[in-house]
């Protein structure tokens, strides 16, 4: 009798397990029970329930350097092939133009004025709801691996990753290889301990961040006429200490070195994704590849990033792959990095988070929906100085930039029609026209609404002198 009852219980357990796996998208409750270990699993097949999530942030990567965004130099064959398997959002904007606040916005779906990670001294508050923590009930194991020590220390550790690694080096920046190796070793360890748990992997790489110093084979590949990439050390130093003396020939060399870094990063991503494929991490996975911001090469007089909101620093690549979603899609509508976290929840069939400011991009992926305004903020530079711009709003092809101006409460403005002037070279004439007034009103409403939706208070910790020295080497302090 006991054997019969045990057999019946075992059959019921198997049936419950199979039903839970088969109906994950229709019945998340059973799937969550299964992941939490509350259903018998002694005879379980490998679950196909929640997909793994892989988020890759390439620091300082301009959208216009990818082939799938129109670049003809062949810098990114791997990313171009990856894009063909998912959706490419051609007009994706970061919420700001430097790393820490941008990455905080990516994971919290909130703007810098709300999460208040606005200087190098600010650490993301653990009170901020973020997409990593939202996936905890589904049993996700989260690992963060960042070559950018600042974002890992000031943002990553507040996101709820079970393991968040910041890698320090005595060189100006850490290359991708050791970060990839550490991430893969972590995957191997957790797979041995918990083979059925879904993974949330976050990688942040520093190529092509300043200083631009790719290995020799990548320098020579893109040498401009009459200049050698072997001048990398000297030209990087000149960019920092003699910025006004930079010539057009110097800029050509700097752009070529930057392109070499982009090509190197593409090769490293090919290796990372190949290793994840071998480990079957990508068999059933949501993949997001993006950047935190772009880079300036004096298109508007500035260098590197974090001081303006022109498109060279604000427009970023955004590639998304998901099981069951159409491949080869290109979405032209303006979108923001605050939309990434809501999109992940939607793809996982989870309810929307009311504190998230962004929208799911899934409807755009599947068809046409009404456009919305895209907003970016830059309250201060990373060290608390006044930037060239404090706010930007993009509506369709019209873009408004607001400069800080103590003599005018609304600030000085620049307005561009990106359809006719994608380089933002010829602002609309002064005084502001009707378009500018409409956008200023919309921006005022947006910022007022954000201020009413519970900003948190970031913890402020001044960086050590060692950290300051490393930041100087990365181009943040002259």
The 10s digit of each residue's pLDDT in 314-352 is 999 999 999 989 899 999 999 999 999 999 999 999 999
Distances (CA, A) of 25 to 54, 184, 271: 20, 29, 32
In a domain, 130, yes or no: yes
Q: What is the pLDDT, as a whole number, of residue 239? A: 78
Q: What is the pLDDT, as a whole number, of residue 17? A: 36
What string of DSSP letters covers 158-223? GTT-SEEEE---SSSS--HHHHHHHHHHHHHHHHHH-TTS-EEEEEEE-TTSSS----HHHHHHTP
> How many whole angstroms separate alpha carbon 355 and alpha carbon 336?
16
pLDDT tens for residues 239-291?
777 778 888 888 989 999 999 999 999 999 999 999 999 999 999 899 999 99
Helix (H) or strand (E) holding 52: strand 52-58
List the domain range (segments joined by +) for residue 219: 52-372
Residue 406, pLDDT > 50, answer no
Torsion of CA 155, 159, 163, 165, to 10 degrees: -10
> How many whole angstroms separate alpha carbon 391 and alpha carbon 445?
13
Q: How confident is the model at residue 180 (pLDDT cuts 50, 70, 90)?
A: very high
In a domain, 390, yes or no: no
Q: Sort strands 391-395 and 52-58 into parallel, antiparallel or unpaired.
A: unpaired
Q: What is the pLDDT, as a whole number, of residue 30? A: 36
Segment 24-51 mean pLDDT = 44
What string of DSSP letters covers 383-394? TS---S-SEEEE
Q: What is the pLDDT, as a whole number, of residue 337? A: 98
In a domain, 15, yes or no: no
Residues 366/426, Cβ–Cβ less than 8 Å: no
3-state secondary structure of 403: strand
Q: What is the pLDDT, as a whole number, of residue 422? A: 94
Residue 7, pLDDT > 50, answer no
Q: What is the pLDDT, as a whole number, of residue 13? A: 39
Which CATH number characterizes residue 88's domain?
3.40.720.10
In a domain, 419, yes or no: no
Q: What is the pLDDT, as a whole number, of residue 477? A: 56
Q: Sort strands 87-93 and 141-146 into parallel, antiparallel or unpaired.
A: unpaired
Q: Which of 15-29, 133-147, 256-270 has the lowest mean pLDDT?
A: 15-29
Helix (H) or strand (E) holding 399: strand 398-403
Segment 394-421 mean pLDDT = 81
Q: What is the pLDDT, as a whole number, of residue 379? A: 83
Segment 420-446 mean pLDDT = 83
In a domain, 430, yes or no: no
> How many whole angstroms separate alpha carbon 9 and alpha carbon 15?
10
Residue 17: cis peptide before it, omega within 30 degrees of 0: no
Residues 58/290, Cβ–Cβ less than 8 Å: yes
Straight-line distance from the first to the last Cα atom of the chain, in angstroms, rounded to the nearest whole number? 82
> How many whole angstroms separate alpha carbon 285 and alpha carbon 52?
4
Angle (nearest 5°) at CA 450 between 446 and 455: 165
Burial (CB count within 10 angstroms: exposed 0-12, middle 13-18, buried 19+), residue 251: middle
Q: How confident is the model at residue 29 (pLDDT cuts 50, 70, 90)?
A: very low
Q: How confident is the model at residue 307 (pLDDT cuts 50, 70, 90)?
A: confident
In a domain, 6, yes or no: no
How many domains does the structure of the chain reveal?
Answer: 1
In a domain, 443, yes or no: no
> How many whole angstroms separate alpha carbon 163 and alpha carbon 224?
43
> How many whole angstroms separate alpha carbon 257 and alpha carbon 247?
15
Q: How confident is the model at residue 152 (pLDDT cuts 50, 70, 90)?
A: low
In a domain, 122, yes or no: yes
> How many whole angstroms separate alpha carbon 144 and alpha carbon 205?
11
Q: What is the pLDDT, as a whole number, of residue 161? A: 72
Name, of 118-127, 274-283, 440-449, the range with top average pLDDT.
274-283
pTM, to two decimals: 0.84
> CB under 8 Å to 377, separation ≥6 — which residues?
95, 96, 101, 111, 112, 113, 390, 391, 392
Q: What is the pLDDT, as a whole number, of residue 16? A: 40
Backbone angles phi and psi of 394, in degrees to 5: -120, 125
Residue 164, pLDDT > 80, answer no
Q: Where are the alpha helices (DSSP H) in 242-334?
A: 248-278, 311-314
């Amino acid at each position: 009798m006991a054997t019969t009852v045990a057999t019946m219980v075992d059959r019921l357990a198997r049936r419950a397990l199979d039903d839970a796996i088969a109906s994950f998208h229709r019945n998340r409750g059973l799937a969550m029970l299964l992941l939490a270990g509350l259903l018998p699993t002694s005879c379980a097949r490998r679950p196909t329930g929640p997909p793994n999530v892989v988020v890759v942030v390439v620091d300082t990567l301009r959208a216009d350097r990818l082939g799938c965004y129109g670049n003809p130099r062949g810098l990114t064959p791997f990313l171009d092939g990856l894009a063909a398997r998912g959706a490419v959002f051609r007009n994706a904007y970061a919420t700001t133009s430097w790393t820490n606040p941008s990455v905080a916005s990516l994971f919290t779906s909130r703007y810098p004025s709300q999460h208040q990670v606005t200087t190098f001294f600010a650490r993301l508050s653990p009170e901020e709801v973020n997409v990593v923590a939202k996936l905890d009930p589904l049993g996700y194991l989260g690992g963060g691996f960042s070559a950018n020590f600042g974002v890992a220390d000031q943002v990553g550790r507040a996101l709820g990753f079970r393991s968040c690694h910041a890698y320090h080096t005595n060189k100006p920046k850490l290359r991708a290889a050791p970060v990839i190796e550490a991430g893969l070793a972590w995957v191997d360890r957790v797979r041995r301990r918990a083979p059925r748990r879904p993974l949330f992997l976050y990688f942040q790489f520093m190529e092509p961040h300043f200083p631009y110093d790719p290995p020799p084979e990548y320098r020579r590949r893109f040498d401009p006429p009459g200049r050698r990439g072997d001048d990398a050390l000297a030209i990087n130093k000149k960019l920092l200490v003699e910025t006004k003396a930079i010539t057009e020939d110097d800029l050509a060399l700097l752009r070529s070195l930057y392109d070499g870094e982009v090509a190197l990063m593409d090769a490293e991503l090919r290796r990372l994704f190949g290793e994840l494929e071998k480990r079957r991490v990508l068999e059933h996975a949501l993949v997001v590849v993006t950047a935190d911001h772009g880079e300036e090469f004096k298109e508007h007089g500035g260098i590197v990033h974090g001081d303006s909101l022109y498109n060279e620093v604000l427009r970023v690549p955004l590639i998304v792959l998901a099981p069951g979603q159409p491949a080869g899609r290109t979405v032209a509508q303006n979108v923001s990095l605050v939309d990434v976290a809501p999109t992940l929840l939607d793809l996982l069939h989870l309810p929307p988070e009311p504190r998230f400011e962004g929208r799911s991009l899934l409807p755009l992926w599947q068809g046409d929906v009404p456009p919305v305004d895209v907003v970016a903020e830059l309250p201060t530079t990373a060290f608390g100085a006044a930037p060239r711009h404090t706010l930007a709003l993009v509506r369709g092809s019209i873009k408004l930039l607001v400069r800080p101006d103590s003599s005018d409460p609304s600030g000085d403005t620049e307005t561009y029609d990106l359809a006719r002037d994608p380089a933002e070279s010829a602002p609309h004439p002064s005084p502001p026209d009707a378009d500018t007034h409409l956008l200023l009103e919309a921006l005022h409403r947006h910022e007022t609404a954000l201020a009413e939706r519970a900003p948190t208070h970031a913890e402020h910790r001044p960086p050590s002198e060692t950290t300051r020295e490393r930041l100087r080497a990365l181009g943040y302090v002259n």
